[in-house]
Chain A
């Protein structure tokens, strides 16, 4: 007889425990986010509201940055959507494992489906005894969620004490720069980045900050074209995108 699958509480605790290493990376970003949000003029409630309701680190930094530049709200929301499109990939990966769960479970799991939750849960879903693996995901997701809320709140408290003269807002583009570098894995990625930067500079005069969205969409197209071209040049070679 096969052994019983782990109990819900064991799965939940394992999920939370497996998240601990990644929390070390999440806390500083939550602190940083809270501090920066206040620096650019959001109220503490608005800053915490972004963490509570959007709950997506990089998109929240983007939102704060665009709010600072007084970009039109609808354009900011559109940009958040583009930045978060990658979650659809995670959603597609998770979907076969949760298809048999009741709707309320899927609704909660989707709410908690961040980059980090996906990274921590993927090994669990590649393992065995998946009957109660959703409890593992819940442990991971809630650990990340509470950590993000607490660290944002602490950042808000700290951020109120940072002097204006430090030009801390410049840390926003630097943060994006640090996020950009690991994505530059091959020529198509470089093409997309260079095109995005140049087009955004050229189109910056468009109203409501629409130049940013247009530049990003065009740059993805240029990156795709570069990928097609490099495939045509080197037939049979396995590209980086064969994940």
Chain B
């Protein structure tokens, strides 16, 4: 990505992020949020995060999907740690260490 493109992301990201924060604060008489918006919002995080994670874990550089390999296994391990401990850093650390081990043994 060129430097101009990266700065387009930074400036664009600034504008849309500030817009979400400013939205209701700007209104003189803030109305209640529409119900479907409120219900949908809590589902945005699981939907987006899973959509970002899955291809990166499963798809190889070649574009082929690989369900069994070091990265899916390391991600599964990280998920299990995160699920049991609820600790972000243990999950990330555990996943990275298992990836290094699996890559080293050529699994």
For residue A90, give the distance in angstroms from its CB to the closest CB of chain B: 7
Asked whether, in the complex, the Cβ of A174 is within 8 Å of the Cβ of B24, the reply is: no
Asked whether, in the complex, the Cβ of A53 is within 8 Å of the Cβ of B10, the reply is: yes
Among A43, A78, A106, A175, the most chain B Cβ lie within 10 Å of the Cβ of A175
Asked whether, in the complex, the Cβ of A88 is within 8 Å of the Cβ of B50, the reply is: no
Total CB contacts across the A-B interface at under 8 A? 271
For residue B85, give the distance in angstroms from its CB to the closest CB of chain A: 10
Write out the residue numbers on chain B whose beta carbons fall within 8 Å of the beta carbon of A224.
36, 39-40, 43
Asked whether, in the complex, the Cβ of B49 is within 8 Å of the Cβ of A92, the reply is: no
Q: Which B-chain residue is minimally distant from A167 (CB atoms)?
A: B99
> How many chain B residues have a CB neighbour from A under 8 Å?
72
Chain B: interface secondary structure? helix
* Interface magnitude class on chain A: 35 or more
Asked whether, in the complex, the Cβ of B44 is within 8 Å of the Cβ of A50, the reply is: no
Write out the residue numbers on chain B whose beta carbons fall within 8 Å of the beta carbon of A83.
44-45, 48
Write out the residue numbers on chain B whose beta carbons fall within 8 Å of the beta carbon of A5.
none
- Which residues of A approach B to under 8 Å, CB–CB? 28, 41-43, 46, 49-50, 53-56, 59-60, 62-63, 65, 67, 69-70, 73-74, 76-92, 94-96, 98-99, 106-107, 109-111, 113, 166-168, 170-184, 188-190, 192-201, 204, 212, 215-217, 219-220, 223-224, 227, 241
